[in-house]
Amino acid sequence: MTAPTATLTDHHSEADLLAGDPALAEPVPPGKHDAEVDRLFGAGGPLAPAVGTFKPRQSQTEMAKAIAQAIGEQQVLMAEAGTGTGKTFAYLVPALLWGGKTIISTGTKNLQDQLFLRDIPTVRAALKAPVSVALLKGRSNYVCHFHLERTLQNGRLTSRDDVGHLREISRFIKMTNSGDKAELTKVPETASVWNLVTSTRDTCMGQECQYYQDCFVMKARREAQQADVVVVNHHLFFADVALKDTGVAELLPSANTVIFDEAHQLPDTATMFFGQTVSTSQVLELCRDVLAEGLAHARGPDWAKVVTVVEKAARDLRLTFGQDTMRLSLPQIMPNSPFFPALETLKEELEGMITVLEEQAERAETIEQCRVRAVELKAALDAWKPDAKGKVVEGDQAVLWVEAFSSSLQLHKTPLSVAPVFSSQREGTPRAWIFTSATLAVKNDFTHFSDQMGLTGEPAKTWPSPFNYQDQGLLYVPTGLPEPHAFAYTDAVVDCALPVIEAAGGRTFFLCTTLRAVNRVAERLRQEFADRGLPFPLFVQGERGRTELLDSFRNAGNAVLVGSQSFWEGVDVRGDALSLVIIDKLPFSPPDDPVLAARIEVMEKQGLNGFMHHQLPEAIITLKQGAGRLIRDVDDRGVLMICDPRIISKPYGRRIWQSLPPFKRTRVQADVIEFFQPGSLSAASSGPDS
């Protein structure tokens, strides 16, 4: 379903018209805005009184000038800014003043809300900029009037919690202007009832819906079309490129400027959306809806029988793989596996259900909708088809693989490179494309990111952090640890970490590369803290939501938090509550990752070294994110403890630690203990290999 077709030129604000349409805009001479940027970011400028803690930073001012120039010349800019640079203000100021129609895309919905609710209002007020701003999220974030009413009537609720949550949502929909579920804090974001009161592209009635005029999704899209600045997230942006279903497609043609914050996440996000995924869960959801709509509107067929055979085929397909969770590329599945006949059976049974739906479609719009979904699912299953040699039909451009979860099976078709698709998105109307993050480069080299995104040869700049890492931080690589593949490696890491955690007074992030390690570390620490009488609260990923864990960690002041991937980035703990970041292993992708294996195979056919050109840069960028949790403010102090001996023993180790902030370095535990003594500024030397 697409948004209303009103063009943006019908709604341009005065600021938008002044900025000009991309097709009409004249390139701005280089440096034209430099003096104004100097004034705005200077000590006597408008930002200082608006922000309170604002201090002029040369790197922030220089970054803002470079972005202003890229906007004026409608060019690409890759901008890496070290922690503490203030990159958000560095791109917001030129965007709000000279960006024209601007789309800002962030890494997560939380960052989206922070930009929309806090950062943009602050800068807009300081600059007195007459720009309108809109927030646009995916449709699953907005309550749907139609599905809420249907759920209230059907009563398909499985728990007492759902009944209470539904009551809250019914109350909320009468009071909210946006319908955004983030506003309703009484109902957890993970509550299962949200699936019953929001729409998907498949289940949206579009203009046929009786609530179309009141629809919160449509309202958000109309506001986005009329606004000067629209805040989206990467998932939404690329889902739209792939599905044309989020409202971004209507925004892009008139956008003068597109800014990606946390741009290091783009290759993974784009890969996910430019690929295709079909799952047995989608089939089961369709069966559930076919049964409900069939019984409600068309009494003729035996609907229970129609859906039961399809449900059984979907479940049988999942059962062809025994383990709870696993990933296999197509060549790893044995030719005589029951998977292949089970897949054919599912296609045949789905075809049978489509036939019945075609016969009954005219009975109700909702049955026709189910028919369309069934046809699309069947097409996706048909597309998951190798040639006779087990390769994807298009050659080496995509990889077919399966992923099993406890109750579902996903079939993926993943492109090996998103560069061609993303390059085609940037063709056409000239506009500025800004990519910014604290971690885009490996030792100031942007090749890895630019190759992935099809930006080879485009301008790239780095601005260092204003923090004094030499005095504020210490990099500690302990001696005597076994190789990471050793059987008792995680226990050895905990043994090595305990004296350091004790010296730090808790105040620790313990970052692991696997969930298994998280569980083992948590188990050991819980026991050791009890045995040693250490008063450190222990928080573990998975035991509560991320936001709740972080709030508890900050409030405790002496806690230890054990986490994996979701705590390596996008987490900001300033001050004394976090003084030690422990990383158990270098974050290399698992070698059994089917997409990684296929990418390396293609690179090696081209004469490249898959490890040096792909795995190592990926690991360095992830490690930089993890290391970035430590020093978040000018007064922060702390120790980064990397336990993996490969950072010293392997030839590539130097490249890794040279890409990290310029901490003093040591391998001596006593130096670390001394660093944490009151009043100490660390007695460590510049360390080995300086």
The pLDDT value given to residue 365: 85
Domain with 49 in it: what CATH number? Answer: 3.40.50.300
Buried b (16+ CB within 10 A) or exposed e, 542-556: eeeeeeebbeebeeb
pTM: 0.84
| 433 shares its domain with 503 | no
Q: Are 276 and 385 in contact (CB under 8 A)?
A: no
| 365 shares its domain with 341 | yes
Maximum distance among all Cα pairs of the chain, rounded to whole angstroms: 83
Q: The dihedral of CA 493, 496, 499, 505: what is its sign?
A: negative
Flag whether 681 is in a domain: no
| 498 shares its domain with 395 | no
| 233 shares its domain with 123 | yes
Tokens (6 digits) for 65: 């000038």
Residues of the chain with pLDDT under 50: 1-26, 388-395, 681-690
Cross-strand pairs, 411: 278, 402
CA atoms within 13 A on the CB side of 576: 8
Flag whether 605 is in a domain: yes
Domain with 376 in it: what CATH number? Answer: 1.20.1440
The C-alpha atoms of residue 194 and residue 211 are separated, in whole angstroms, by: 18
The C-alpha atoms of residue 221 and residue 637 are separated, in whole angstroms, by: 45
Q: Determine the Cα angle at 23 with ends 20 and 29, to 5°.
A: 65
Flag whether 214 is in a domain: no
The pLDDT value given to residue 680: 60
The C-alpha atoms of residue 363 and residue 378 are separated, in whole angstroms, by: 22
Q: In Å, what is the CA distance from 146 to each residue of 151, 165, 169, 200, 210?
A: 9, 17, 13, 12, 8
Q: Strand 560-563 and strand 538-540: pairing?
A: parallel
The C-alpha atoms of residue 192 and residue 198 are separated, in whole angstroms, by: 11
Q: How far is CA 676 from the centre of its chain?
A: 35
The residue type found at 518 is: V
Flag whether 208 is in a domain: no
* pLDDT tens by residue, 480-526: 999 999 999 999 999 999 999 999 999 999 999 999 999 999 999 99
| 151 shares its domain with 47 | no
Q: Are 392 and 368 in contact (CB under 8 A)?
A: no
Other C-beta atoms lying within 10 Å of the C-beta of residue 32: 13
> For residue 165, which of 140, 145, 141, 193 has the smallest C-alpha distance?
193
| 131 shares its domain with 147 | no
Tokens (6 digits) for 160: 């007492």
Flag whether 120 is in a domain: yes
The pLDDT value given to residue 609: 92
| 97 shares its domain with 180 | no
| 178 shares its domain with 255 | no
The residue type found at 210 is: Q
Range of the domain at 83: 8-138+224-273+419-463
Flag whether 261 is in a domain: yes
The pLDDT value given to residue 242: 60
Q: Could you please report the per-residue DSSP string of 335-384?
A: TT-THHHHHHHHHHHHHHHHHHHHHHGGG-HHHHHHHHHHHHHHHHHHH-
The pLDDT value given to residue 425: 79
| 86 shares its domain with 164 | no
Rg over alpha carbons for the chain, rounded to the nearest Å, is: 27
Flag whether 399 is in a domain: yes
Q: Where are the beta strands (DSSP E) in 74-218?
A: 76-81, 102-106, 133-135
| 405 shares its domain with 426 | no
Flag whether 305 is in a domain: yes
Q: Are 622 and 568 in contact (CB under 8 A)?
A: yes
The residue type found at 530 is: A
| 246 shares its domain with 370 | no
Of the three residues 179, 197, 215, the one that is the final residue of a domain is: 197
Q: In Å, what is the CA distance from 442 to each residue of 30, 199, 410, 448?
A: 28, 42, 34, 8
Of the three residues 415, 447, 480, the one that is the final residue of a domain is: 415
Please name the residues in contact with 662: beta carbons below 8 A apart, sequence gap of 6 or more: 469, 470
The pLDDT value given to residue 638: 95
Q: Where are the beta strands (DSSP E) in 25-175?
A: 76-81, 102-106, 133-135
Q: How far is CA 313 from the centre of its chain?
A: 33
Other C-beta atoms lying within 10 Å of the C-beta of residue 596: 19
Q: Are 505 and 673 in contact (CB under 8 A)?
A: no
Cross-strand pairs, 646: none
Q: Are 436 and 87 in contact (CB under 8 A)?
A: yes
The pLDDT value given to residue 386: 66
Q: Are 284 and 51 in contact (CB under 8 A)?
A: no
| 519 shares its domain with 633 | yes
The pLDDT value given to residue 660: 93
Q: Are 232 and 190 in contact (CB under 8 A)?
A: no
Burial of 498 (0-12, 13-18, 19+ CB in 10 A): middle
The pLDDT value given to residue 229: 96
The C-alpha atoms of residue 636 and residue 641 are separated, in whole angstroms, by: 16
Q: How far is CA 400 from the centre of its chain?
A: 23
> For residue 560, which of 514, 501, 515 has the smallest C-alpha distance?
501
Number of domains into which the chain is organized:
4
